[in-house]
Amino acid sequence: MNENRIYLCLAHMSEAGMEMKYIQEAFETNWVVPLGPNVNAFEEALEDFVSQKADHAETALKRVAALSSGTAAIHLALIACGVKQEDEVMVQSFTFGASANPVTYLGATPVFVDSEPDTWNMDPELLARGIRERMEKTGRRPKAIIPVHLYGMPAKMDDIMAVARQYEIPVIEDAAEAFGSTYHGRKCGTLGDYGILSFNGNKMITTSGGGALICPSAEARERIVKYATQARETFPYYQHEEIGYNYRMSNICAGIGRGQMTVAAAHIAHHRHVHQLYEQLFADVAGITVHSQPDGIVESTESVERIYDSNYWLSTILLDEQLKVRGEKKAYDRMRHTDCEPNSPVEALRLALDEAGIESRPLWKPMHRQPVYRNAPVFVNGVSEGLFMRGLCLPSGPYVTDDDVERIVNTIKKQLL
């Protein structure tokens, strides 16, 4: 195996060493707990980041709570939206399991909604149909909606929010993969009632592990922080009147996050650059399509605004059904089959890339096809299953160089018949 591996997506420490500076300060001042100066400063930096439009004109101020993970943020957002046992939540099916699992933590039921083909995210028309039919069946409206900006691509939030407002259902916007992406110039995560960020090790910036919840007001944030710190009441002794959780971010992790914020813009620019290279190098390759953001601008007397501006957290490709790849007939010889899996050419290409020291990965398997959610209600149109069977994620992280991209594309070309 080639030891010079090209990894899929990996946030890394800045060469300026700001992370170590803030970590060292935490140890020197003995702030090694889930609160402290780094937590406060990181939250302030995040609030400034998400509360600015692409043209740096301020939009509605959002308050941010730094937490132990993006999953924790979803869990607390659901609690803030009043989700309880036997409730239903409309969840995008084409996503990672963390978007749906917190719904089940609360004893509620995820109702999965398939994708539209432009952004690969929640289909607004299918969402509206799903809400209507679940209300007819249960006599109750769903308690929340969770769209996801998959691979950093902004969802069709105007249409999703219109449906949500029609039925008076709060929106929890999963922007875990979309740090820095914008929709109509606004940062993803600020378009719904609550927004989710993730700082896992493979995200645009990292705190090693961690996340944040973007809240609509200072009062909402205060409530979230209370739940994240075991719901302790303001007494000199431990008084608990509600169930709480140990979900606050540590001062050490927040120090890493403060340092990472100094390179966030560079990381986002690099991911977009890598995606542009993939587009250029695959342009003349028949049978392979690079997934790119929809065209669309809004013109005013003062500016021209792009509707979609993805951070391209991961660059992804689709293989045409007719495309032939070396080794596809033996692609699954050493792996058991499931009832929903990538097509053989996709798996053969993944294995060939792996043999060349290049990590790639299938697209997210739709949640409605996961065995653990086999009995969940679902509204499908076939889009996410078709994408899963034909798609592959390619290396896109800060360590991926122009030469790496060229080698990746050339390796793929050599496998095509």
Domain 265-415 fold: Aspartate Aminotransferase, domain 1 (3.90.1150)
Angle at 79 between CA 76 and CA 84, to 5 degrees: 140
Residue partners of 250: CB distance under 8 A and separation at least 6: 32, 33, 34, 39, 68
Confidence (pLDDT) at 10: 78
Closest to 290 measured CA to CA, from 280, 301, 305, 298: 280
CA distance 317 to 172: 28
pLDDT digit string, tens, across residues 229-248 = 999 999 999 999 999 999 99
Confidence (pLDDT) at 288: 98
Q: What is the mean pLDDT of the chain?
A: 92
The token pair that represents 235 in the structure block: 């007494």
Confidence (pLDDT) at 66: 97
Confidence (pLDDT) at 3: 55
The token pair that represents 322 in the structure block: 């007719």
What stretch of H or E contains 89? strand 88-92
| Statement: 18-263 belongs to CATH 3.20.20.140 | no
CA distance 385 to 364: 10
Confidence (pLDDT) at 122: 98
Residues of the chain with pLDDT under 70: 1-4, 12-16, 22, 26-28, 30-33, 53-60, 298-304
Residue partners of 113: CB distance under 8 A and separation at least 6: 90, 91, 92, 93, 122, 123, 126, 127, 130, 378, 379
CB count in 10 Å sphere of residue 213: 29
Closest to 213 measured CA to CA, from 205, 224, 223, 204: 224
Confidence (pLDDT) at 37: 87
**3-state class of 35 per DSSP?**
strand
Put simply, whether the predicted model's pTM sits higher than 0.85 gets the answer yes
Confidence (pLDDT) at 1: 42
CA distance 96 to 219: 30
The residue ranges of every structural domain in the chain are 18-263, 265-415
Strands 315-319 and 391-394: antiparallel
CA distance 140 to 89: 11
pLDDT digit string, tens, across residues 244-261 = 999 999 998 999 999 999
Residue partners of 375: CB distance under 8 A and separation at least 6: none
